[in-house]
Structure 1
Amino acid sequence: MPMPDVSSHSVAQLVSLTGRRAVVTGGAQGLGKAIAARLAEAGADVLIGDRNADLATTAATDLDERYPGRVIGAFLDVTDTGTVNAVADRAVDELGGLDIWVNNAGIFPAVPLLELTDETWDQVFAVNTRGTLVGAREAARRMTAAGHGGVIVNIVSTAGFRGVGPGLAAYVGSKHAVRGLTRNLALELAPHGIRVLGVAPTFVPTEGNMALVAAAFPDGADPADLLPQMTNSLIGRVAVPDDIARVVLFCASDLSAFMTGSTLLADAGETL
């Protein structure tokens, strides 16, 4: 299935997602909610999936009231293939199809290597890597069955390009795996008209991220005071969730119609 030539389209047409249906995993807050917001603003109907079903529903209600696209919330545990299937089916049944899938759900417990258990390693890979694989696979099955192609966007991380720091062996390993998975999924799914792209953010001080930072420094340090140590921004400020959401919107839209397999760094030059 050849990718369409959209060079005659206006900028408004290229960025518009009107008529498209999207799923965002881990979408109840932070990066996920910001991504869902931009997709909905561009006209997509969006299903927010999250382990916190109540928070997913609250986020969906908020976005549904603000943007033209329909937004619904659902329980989703990306380590449970059954719930991934249920969310994919709900998108097809209630939104009318599936055109965009954003694998955003992820965890990054900080555990020194000598204290890292097999169980923690397996948990990180179950969420970050296998969860991405299962989400992409189930999205691709439905996109292929519908015969219209689609876009899969994997949230990678700058940790998919380099070592980050002590205690993050599992996270860095899982994100290197997601970056490689993105490339091979793009190769395998291209004949079906499905593009696969990665977005690699630097650290973004979301609610969940800051809670993890606070837990890693239990000596009473203010997590906000640690931000300059955790980022190497060349543009004079720390990232906000919408900085990443705009890159995801680019990937999901026809602005990137001739791209697949790449992982775009959204890192303010951190990895230079």
Structure 2
Amino acid sequence: MTVSVPDFSGTAVRDLLDLHGRRAVVTGGARGLGKAIALRLAEAGADVLVGDLDGDLAAAAAAELAERHGVDAVGVQMDVADQGSVAAAADRAAETLGGLDVWVNNAGVFPNRPALEMGVDEWDRVFAVNARGVFLGATEAARRMDGGGVIVNVVSTAGFKGTAPGLAAYVGSKHAARGLTKQLAIEFAPKGIRVLGVAPSFVPTEGNMAAAAAAAEATGVPADPAVIAKLMSTGLLGRIGVPDDIARVVLFCASDLAAIMTGSTLLADAGDTA
């Protein structure tokens, strides 16, 4: 049976953004960009499962969501590269929250290693998290979305272009994530499931700053956060994006404001890829 996306003509904007009654999962949701996304989804009314490699940090983030926004929230330990772990988190969301409507594939790794120095094991680990993790999250979510839903993949501007030296595995994996967004949109459309990507440029989260510091040290640049930040592109809008800038775009994708959109990857990069 094919499920059609509703026509929301005439629906008030506040209602299009309202996620009350919807159940969401955010991978890598315990800090940084993932936590910002989880907070915005909860603010819009969604109940949220926060999945993260650090189960204690995930539980703390979930408790904060519940306290700040009065939603049901649960934190679980989750390895997006492991199918059993992803399936268990999806089952937990369906059982604890009562269903599954939104899934955000946010978890990722950002290593820096010149291609000629990178071993196969490190390459495979990057693809296991950044590409296989998207595939596993999307497919496990789709199996549990009864009557439609939304999957949002956090891609990167690295899914559109080459970037700095040392990022061959990262760039390749993000191109893969963008390609999966296109293909899964085709395959999931009959189930009423929309699949969208959001592609930020560099956002100074804890993980990104640590990776940037490591890369800076390898090239002799002082590993000072202020120095590193100045090296990052501000795009056309005069500043580097912050996690909430990206979270608001993800909220748009997850909401009925984007009801007619699927298969696209939205650039959230201050014009850096223009």
**TM-score, normalized by length of structure 1?**
0.97
Deviates further, 165-174 or 216-225: 216-225
1:74 is matched with: 76
Conserved 8 A contact 2:232-2:240: no
Aligned residue identity for 1:135: G
Partner in structure 1 of residue 166 of structure 2: 167
**SS state at 1:264 partner:** strand
Q: Is the 8 A contact 2:213 2:228 kept in 1?
A: no
Distance 1:93 1:11 in 2: 31
Shift of 1:77: 0.2
Give the gaps of 5 or more residues in structure 1: none
TM-fit CA distance, 1:216: 2.0
For 2:37 and 2:233, the matched residues in 1 are separated by 21
List aligned pairs for 1:1-272, cutoff 5 A: 1-143=3-145, 146=146, 148-218=147-217, 220-272=222-274
Report SS of the residue matched to 1:115: coil
Distance apart, 1:250 and its partner CA: 0.1
Distance 1:177 1:27 in 2: 21
Tell me, in whole angstroms, the C-alpha distance in 2 between the residues paired with 1:38 and 1:196: 19
Moved more, 51-60 or 232-241: 232-241
Residue type at the aligned position of 2:182: R
Deviations 1:197-234 (A, max 9, x none): 00000100001111111222335431321223222421
Unpaired segments of 5 or more residues in structure 2? none
Q: Distance in 1 between matches of 2:30 and 2:138?
A: 19
The worse-fitting range, judged by mean Cα deviation, of 183-192 and 227-236 is: 227-236
Partner of 1:198, secondary structure, is strand
Q: How many residues were matched structurally? A: 269
More displaced 10-residue stretch of structure 1: 215-224 or 108-117: 215-224
Counterpart code for 1:178 = A
SS at match of 1:31: helix
Q: 1:68: how far off?
A: 2.9
Percent of matched pairs sharing the same residue: 67
SS at match of 1:204: coil
Deviations 1:102-138 (A, max 9, x none): 0000001000111011011100000000000000000
